[in-house]
Structure 1
Amino acid sequence: MKTFRLTAAAGAALLVFTGALTACAPPEKESGGEQTQSGVKAGEATSAADFGGMPGLEEAAKKEGELNVIALPPDWANYGAIIKAFGDKYGIKVNSAQPDAASQDEINAANQQKGKSTAPDVFDLGQSVALANTSLFAPYKVEKFGDISDDFKDPDGKWVNDYGGYMSIGYDESKVPAIAGVDDLLKPEFKGKVALNGDPTQAGAAFSGVMMVAISQGGTPDDIAPGVEFFRKLKEAGNFLPVDPTPATIESGQTPVVVDWDYLNVAETKKLPSWKVVIPPNAAVAGYYYQAINKDAPHPAAARLWQEFLFSDEGQNLYLQGGARPVRADTMATQGTIDRAAYAVLPPVDGAATFVTVDQNQAATKYLEGNWAKAVG
């Protein structure tokens, strides 16, 4: 999921916000796009080879002239700069709708606007929502597909992890005591001050936040219950603040403690010097977002070119410059193509990383659906 976020990036002025939902019904869009060199329609292309290679894909995308993205705040994982770089490089207009939306909102928009010119072309999703909606994704393998571990992609390219990070606690040291770990959040000094980025039944960041707390309380990826119980205690103590944090709420002091991805919290330190970030010891929960193409994309060639750009060295380094950890980081480090200055300032991690598997995610999501609202509602 994404609600409006915090990562270092160019400002909102860099984006072309068009708002996909308008008062007038948008026009219908011919399904599948134009025929490619291989004989299939652009919407059926499974690699750049179908277009005769990258030059052919670029030509087809430029002919479409537009790309619809959704739920990509400019301050999230450097998406402001990424969108500008893509638009400048290819001369393609990027329409960025609902930048503060959650992952589920992306899927809802695709279903509601199917066949319309304003439907999302691509998705950037948390694990739970992505894995529940793979029937909406078009298989496509970018040129760098082989660089990505099998653990981080669908074998047919229906989805590929693009960037990620670790769950963290960000806090304003001018307003609350220093935080060493999750247990500190139950102290009376944190009354009405602890915010979680979203609803964990819909938002990838919030899901991973509850999982991080669960691990800190003796839980495991197979047992998220201790995390839900901790938030119940937090609510009971009056410390849980039911406000989705944004850069504005952080900088105004409304949300002085935020459980969120490290790259989002770290970005805020550049704007608020008193903002500190800690990845709780022995509770290093890592996660990646899922990149996918809408199988009914109104701009199918542009959607595929966007994927190529995101997984290129340029795109991956742009994620890194926003504090996110690109999925190709290890390969790029070996090849000498990674931005070493940006790589060197990533927050330290204490202990082994915990990754949640597909099955564990599905089981935890089911538990949250049955118990989260009862705990904090």
Structure 2
Amino acid sequence: MNSRRTLTALATLAIAATALTACSTSAAPAGSDGKVDAATATSAKDFGGIDGLVKAAKAEGQLNVIALPDNWANYGKIIAAFEKKYDITVNSADPDVSSAEEITAAKNQKGQDTAPDTFDLGSAVTLDNLKQFAPYQVEKWDDIPKEYKESTGLWVYDYTGLVSIGYDADSVKAPTKLDDLLGSDYSGKVALNGDPTQAGAAAAGVYMAAVQSGGTADDIQPGIDFFQKLNKAGNFLPVDPTPATIASGETPVVIDWSYNNLAAGVENKGTRNWKTTVLPGTAVGSYYNQAINVDAPHPAAARLWQEFIYSDEAQNLYLASGAYPSRLAAMVKAGTVDKDALKAVGEAPADMVQFTPKQTEAATALLAQKWAAAISK
């Protein structure tokens, strides 16, 4: 669990892509020395193909990532697999920061070799920072549904999960409905993964409370009202959950993405009887977004990372964590999906809400206006 994270249905979504002019890939962009300018490359074609991109990335030798905890959607294994495959060192900085803090780090470290090369962001932060991203279309571009990506590749969905409730079954009863969390059994025990005005995972927790309380994607006020009730009941725990707080029993109930709560169960096996449940009724989720820092100090490695993220190998690693990868439908059709992992995760619920960019922006504005007052004593 970390403070950083914002599920979408696997069905077609009504997402309006940002209207930007696509960059031409008809000729390789060249720097003053005649070599490929990796910072302006919009596909592997600009390097003469994937082998050329690999060569350029290996010459850089490093990749800087940020806000990628090892236990988040299998990023520990994904990073290790990338390093092994390409012999490129991955420098993973500040794994527990929020999506907003990723962008702040990029701006503050602009021009430095420590700046992040790539981002993994919640949708609200992504839509607010389009100028921070470089367009890039991976080789698997056509496998990714149109509504899952910005038309030039400024951002592309990578994986999603369901908003869930993780709980220590030795400390509390399994919640079967949202209002159970208002009961005395949950006194001082219910934590949200971060500040919903900053972290996508926390915002999604409020969205879930909204749709479970009569609200909609166009009206999340019932979700804010629920957390106000939770706080007045003395049940809201304003502690950012981590593996350590779960292991110690400090955060016995955590509202977070399903893949995070599932990972917590694996990590704490033998220490905590950690269970994960998705409440019946409407489910909520939102894909995270991959994007390349326009000021990436290792621009070729950043682009190779994108290619790897959308490969069968990495997409199946997402799936193995309990997350649904964006290329899932194409992989099922091609027979390249990890069938055991898919069976373990199960089908996504039919009754699921995905917030559109417009709805996300409105919800973000309302949270900024009302969240602090709602949880104040």
**TM-score normalized with structure 1 length:** 0.90
Show CA shifts across 1:334-365 (max 9, x none): 11101111111115655511100000000000
Change (3 A) 1:50 1:169: same
Show CA shifts across 1:253-305 (max 9, x none): 11110000001111222233521111111120021101000011000000000
Q: Tell whether 2:355 aligns with 1:359.
A: no
Aligned CA-pair RMSD: 1.9
Q: Aligned partners of 1:250 and 1:289: how far apart in 2?
A: 24
Q: Tell whether 2:169 aligns with 1:177.
A: no
Say if 1:38 and 1:51, in contact at 8 Å, map to a contact too: no
Say if 1:279 and 1:349, in contact at 8 Å, map to a contact too: no
Q: Tell whether 2:96 aligns with 1:100.
A: yes
Q: Aligned partners of 2:84 and 2:30: how far apart in 1?
A: 24
Q: 2:151 aligns to what?
A: 155
Q: Aligned partners of 1:225 and 1:347: how far apart in 2?
A: 31
Counterpart secondary structure, 1:342: helix
Q: Aligned partners of 1:181 and 1:37: how far apart in 2?
A: 63
Q: Tell whether 2:195 aligns with 1:199.
A: yes
Show CA shifts across 1:125-149 (max 9, x none): 0111111001100000000111111
Q: Which moved more, 1:332-341 or 1:316-325?
A: 316-325
Q: Which moved more, 1:242-251 or 1:263-272?
A: 263-272
Counterpart secondary structure, 1:50: helix
What code does the residue aligned with 1:291 have? Q
Q: 2:131 aligns to what?
A: 135
Structure 2 stretches lacking a partner, 5+ long: 6-28
Query: Offset of 1:326 from its aligned partner?
Result: 0.6
Corresponding pairs, count: 350
What code does the residue aligned with 1:155 have? S
Q: Aligned partners of 1:349 and 1:239: how far apart in 2?
A: 30
Q: Aligned partners of 2:306 and 2:110: how far apart in 1?
A: 21
Q: 1:241 aligns to what?
A: 237
Structure 1 stretches lacking a partner, 5+ long: 6-32
Counterpart secondary structure, 1:94: strand
Counterpart secondary structure, 2:124: helix
Q: Which moved more, 1:243-252 or 1:295-304?
A: 243-252
Give the one of 250, 258, 279 matched to 2:246. 250
Q: Which moved more, 1:78-87 or 1:275-284?
A: 275-284
Q: 1:311 aligns to what?
A: 310
Change (3 A) 1:211 1:304: same
Say if 2:4 and 2:99, in contact at 8 Å, map to a contact too: no
Say if 1:36 and 1:51, in contact at 8 Å, map to a contact too: no
Residue identity over aligned pairs, in percent, reads 56
Change (3 A) 1:38 1:220: farther
Q: Aligned partners of 1:40 and 1:179: how far apart in 2?
A: 56
Say if 1:65 and 1:92, in contact at 8 Å, map to a contact too: yes
What code does the residue aligned with 2:375 have? V
Counterpart secondary structure, 1:175: coil
**TM-score normalized with structure 2 length:** 0.90
What code does the residue aligned with 2:235 have? N
